[in-house]
Every structure is written in structure tokens, then in C-alpha cells.
Amino acid sequence: MERVFEELVLEFMRSLDMLGRKKRTREEAVAKARNERLSSAVPFCMQVSCNDARNGMQGCRTAPDISSREMRDSARDSVQAIEENLGTASKKLTPKAIGNNILNYLSGSMAPLIPVLMCAGLFKTVDVILGPTMAGVVSETSDIYILMNMLYDAAFYFLPIYLSYNAAKNIDVTPVLGTFMEGILIDPAMIQMAQDGAAFSVYGILCIPGNYTQSVIPILLSVWAMRYIERFFKKVIPDTLTTVFAPFLTMAAAVPASLCLLAPLGSWLGGCLAGLFAFLGTSGGIVAVIGGGLLAALWLPMVVSGMHIALIMIAIANFMATGSDSFILVVTTVSIWAAYGREVATWLRLRDEKEKSMALGYAISNMVGGVGEPFIYGMMFRYRRLFPCLMAGSFIAGAIAIALGVTVYVAGGASNVLNVLVFVGGSTSNLVNMGISASAGFVTSFILTFMFGFTKDELEYGPAQERA
């Protein structure tokens, strides 16, 4: 009984010690790293020869000891590395550093999804090839055609859920909590309230319900906020209570931040861009030409962020009213050909056989299947010079298309090379002018990518961030 009582007293004292723990200082982190480094060297010095044991000897022969000087040097090097890493966090943020941090966050969140996107893209490619628009082997009502579409839709409809897990894992948020947050954003009740325009509040705070099923910015912003919220609660809550209360309090605080501020912010940004480009499209003259070029150049970032949805809605509404479109659908379609030029140039320029194979697969997926995400996340976020190369080619294609008065006569056409068919319906010159603008974008993007898309170092050793 006395021993049990003593153990209970010790456990109580340990709990009190945990309740009173303080924030670990920089010196404590360095000291811990030094101790761990030294302790890790001891087992190495105490290694035994298992051959002696197998030979039936009573004891084992120790391995040669490492000198104390070597251990001190090793520990010093480790401490210096820790200090350098700790110091990195306190570096002054510059616009370039902020941009790199954003790209690293995006690439780190999206890159693990490449196998899913590539797989879905190939299913879509097979569907397009066998479908009525090309080979005509299967009809739109056949089971195989429907199945291929299901496999493709399962990847892209639920993409924000997959993304939420990776985004959370990328910045040290509990991954399932990130997935939980995205589940809240795309909950059927939320979607229904958005469709009905119903009023809603979170803890009495006004919330504007939205449909976030095809958006990535809302969840990326939400997970980013959760990083600081969860870190705070894990710091102030005793270890004995963290498992239960840290997730609960994190979500309790993150939900209003997401539903009432961050998620609507992403949709609002998309709406602002949509309104801007709608204005540019109706202005005419040089304003419309420049606006068409800007829209084409910014189309890729808008698609990546999910902010293109509002713009597409405006384009479809205009098409339903007039039977054609001479701005949004035009520039977004011709800009795809600039992407083709970028992909072909990347395939030809890369030296590593594995990288070339990946680039070719991504190009086929986009040109035939109409799926560009694998190349975006598999190549562009890794070789970041590809962004300005593509944007320049897209600008040229969009500006020329508007200057030549190109018009789209079919809404919802193919997103692969068959997109040329959406321009059939008017005069022959309309199709010719589309070809001119698309070719200009393709050639511009191809040349820029081939000449400036990669540094010599990247061609030789791959992306710099992957070698760190």
C-alpha cells in the first residue's frame, strides 16, 4: 500500500510539473539537440560483435570507441546546424521570400496529388478516344463511358478533400483536422443554403454560405489559419489533456474563421476578377485587346486557385443570352494552345529520361484528355520559370484573338485539341483567325520555355528545392 501511495504521489507531482511547464527557449532547443547528438553517439561506441555471441562466448567484444574529440566536433556541427535552422525562421520577409513561401505551400500541398490527377487524366483520355467525339467505339450511354467519367469526376470533384489533407500535413497541422474542415465547407447543407440564399450565422457571426466544391483557395486559407490556432492550443493545454481538447478547441475557433471570413474571401476575390474581366470584354478597342491578353495570362492561376468559376458563370450566362461569346470563352480556349507549346518544349528540353517521360505523359494527358493539372503540379510548381513563359504565350494568344474578332459558337466544347470545333459556326475567317492566335501562343510559349524555362543547373540536377 505504501508503494502504491508513493507512486500516486509521484504521478501527481509529475502532472503538476507538466501544468507549470514554460515555453521552450532557443537555448533549450539547442541544448536538447546537443544532448541528443551526444547520446546518439554512445550506442555506436558500445556496439558489439554478434559473431562472438554466435560463437558461444559469454560476453561480446565492443567496437572501437570514437574519440571524445570526434564526439565534440560532431556535436558542435549539429548544434551549429540547429542554430542555422532556427535562425532561418527569423529572416526578414521580402516579396520574393513571400512568393516562394506561397509557391512552396501550394506545391507541397498539390504535388502528392499528382498520381491521382495523372490516373484520372488517363481515364479521361481513354474515354475521349473511345467516345463519340473521336473513335466512336462507345456511346455516351454505355457503361464503360459512364465508368470512365465517374473515375475522372471522383478525382476532381473531391480534389479539395485530398488537398486539405496534404495542405495540413505540409504545415504541421493535424491532417485529419484539415480534411474535417474541408468536409464542413462542402457539406450538403452548406451547398443547399448557398443555392437557396439562406441566412446563417456561426456563434452569432454572420456567415455567407457558399459552394466550395470546386475551389482550393478557401481550404488553403483555412488550413493556414488552423496552423496558428492549433499551435496555440497545443502550447497552452497540458499534455494530459491535449489529445481530447486541442482538436476540439482548434476546430471551434477555426470554423468561424473559415466560414465567416476566409472561405468567402476566396469566392469574393473570384467575383471581383470576374467583374473586372466582364467590364474589359465589353469595353472594346485596345482596352478589350489588353484585357483579353491579361485574362489569358491569368487564366492558369485562376484555375489553380478555383477563382475561375465565377468568370465561367458570366460567360455561360452571356452565351445563353446571345448564342455566342467573343471574349471570355475565346481567350480561355486559345490560351490552352500556349500550354501545349509549353508542354512540348518541356519534353524536348529536359535531359533526365524520367523527367522527359513524365513531361510526355502530362502533355498527352492534356492534349488528348484535356487534363492539364498533372503538368501544372508535376512540372510548373517544380520548374517555376515555366509560369512566366506560359503567361507570356497566353497573353499573345488572347490579345491576338480579341484583336482579330474571334468568336466562340459552341459552349462547353472539348478541353483537348478538339477545342477548335467551338469556333465552327461562323465564317471561315473566324476559324482561320483562331488558328493564327492559337499558333502565335503556341510558338511564343514554346520558344520562351525552350530558351528560358530552365536553368543549366536545373537541367543537370533537377529542381533546386528537391535537392535541399
Do 72 and 132 lie in one domain? The reply is no
113 pLDDT above the threshold of 90: no
pLDDT at site 344: 96
Task: Check: CB of residue 331 under 8 Å from CB of residue 296.
Answer: yes
- Going by pLDDT thresholds of 50, 70 and 90, the confidence category of residue 48 is very low
pLDDT tens string 392-432: 999 999 999 999 999 988 766 667 888 888 888 778 899 89
Q: Is residue 277 part of a domain?
A: no
> How would you classify residue 123: left for phi > 0, otherwise alpha for psi between -120 and 50, otherwise beta?
alpha
Do 114 and 228 lie in one domain? The reply is yes
Q: Is residue 91 part of a domain?
A: no
22 pLDDT above the threshold of 70: no
pLDDT at site 179: 93
Nearest to 339 by CA among 420, 290, 406, 393: 393
Structural domain total, the chain: 3
Concatenating the DSSP letter of every residue in 358-414 gives: HHHHHHHHHHTT---HHHIIIIITTSTTHHHHHHHHHHHHHHHHHHTT--B--TT--
- Going by pLDDT thresholds of 50, 70 and 90, the confidence category of residue 438 is very high
pLDDT at site 350: 94
Do 67 and 178 lie in one domain? The reply is no
Q: Is residue 90 part of a domain?
A: no
Do 60 and 209 lie in one domain? The reply is no
Which helix (H) or strand (E) segment is 206 a member of?
A: strand 205-207
Q: Is residue 289 part of a domain?
A: yes
Domain that holds residue 58: 2-84
pLDDT tens string 266-283: 777 766 766 777 677 677
Average pLDDT over residues 364-385: 86
Do 296 and 262 lie in one domain? The reply is no
Residue with cell 486559407: 221
pLDDT at site 252: 94
Do 302 and 402 lie in one domain? The reply is yes
- Going by pLDDT thresholds of 50, 70 and 90, the confidence category of residue 306 is low
Q: Is residue 141 part of a domain?
A: yes
pLDDT at site 56: 43
Nearest to 327 by CA among 294, 372, 367: 294
pLDDT tens string 212-269: 877 777 888 899 999 999 999 999 999 888 888 999 999 999 999 999 999 888 777 7
pLDDT tens string 171-220: 889 999 999 999 999 899 998 998 888 888 999 898 888 888 777 778 88
Do 25 and 174 lie in one domain? The reply is no
Q: Is residue 99 part of a domain?
A: no
Average pLDDT over residues 113-138: 78
Q: Is residue 92 part of a domain?
A: no
Do 263 and 308 lie in one domain? The reply is no
Q: Is residue 317 part of a domain?
A: yes
